[in-house]
Amino acid sequence: MEIELKYRIPGEDVAERIWEDSLFSEIEEEGSREEIELHAVYYDTQDMDLANNAIAYRVRKEGDRHIATLKWKGKSEDGLHVREELTVPVQSGEPDISIFMESDIGDELDELLRDRELKELMRTDIHRRRFRIDTGGGIFEISVDIGQVSAQGKTSPIREVEAELFSGETEELIEIGRRLKDVYGLEPENTSKYEKGIRIIRGE
């Protein structure tokens, strides 16, 4: 399961402040800071069978690695996103959803897809800056994302900060988010990158 908080960043100057600030310096894990390019392609059938059943499937290039991810049963409120997630390292960016067929959602995937061809639905291109913090009660990752989502020849900007729960309690994650929100005057982001792409496709 993936649990994270998302907030909209109003401008790149604020993104720089979040990245450079010492807000979490006393609990930041030494050597955890990094910048990475994330290029993801989301796949679906011609009829968007996955999207119509609130399932997202992507293959993302993270540096030199390819990671396949399946997300479903998502919900979001006040910037808190909670969803089921499976992540598997793969050899290339080509779609191959068969790697998830032995999972709990495998039967549903088989019923929805029935060997239908998967095509590119959308893509995201993100420059991510991230670091981990260790509160003593849990481990969390703070990510500053700048980029865009593209679909059907149109784009929508992405500018957000995420706080993701790696271990610990959701209540502490919410407190970390509150600190980010209060210091930088941020607004909750309830729309995921994937949902922004879906809105482009549906003309919303």
Q: What is the pLDDT of residue 72?
A: 97
Mean pLDDT of 71-84: 96
Q: What is the pLDDT of residue 115?
A: 84
Of 93, 71, 94, give the one whose Cα is nearest residue 83.
71
Q: What is the pLDDT of residue 185?
A: 94
71, 55 contact by CB (below 8 A): yes
Please provide the CATH number assigned to the domain covering 2-201: 2.40.320.10
Tens digits of residue pLDDT in 113-136: 988 999 999 999 999 999 999 999
Q: What is the pLDDT of residue 204?
A: 84
The residue ranges of every structural domain in the chain are: 2-201
Helix 170-184 vs helix 12-20: angle between axes, to the nearest 10 degrees?
A: 120
Is the confidence at residue 170, as pLDDT, over 90? yes
CA distance to 8, 25, 88, 106, 149, per residue, from 92 (Å):
31, 37, 12, 21, 21
Q: Is 117 helix (H, G, I), strand (E, B) or coil?
A: coil
Q: pTM of this prediction?
A: 0.94
Spatial distance between the Cα atoms of 68 and 173, rounded to a whole number of angstroms: 26
Q: What is the pLDDT of residue 165?
A: 98
Tens digits of residue pLDDT in 90-104: 999 999 999 999 999
Percent of the chain whose predicted confidence (pLDDT) is above 70: 100
Q: What is the DSSP string of 128-156?
A: EEEEEEE-SS-EEEEEEEEEEEEETTEEE
Only one residue has tokens 């610990």, namely 168
Computed over every residue of the chain, the mean pLDDT equals 96
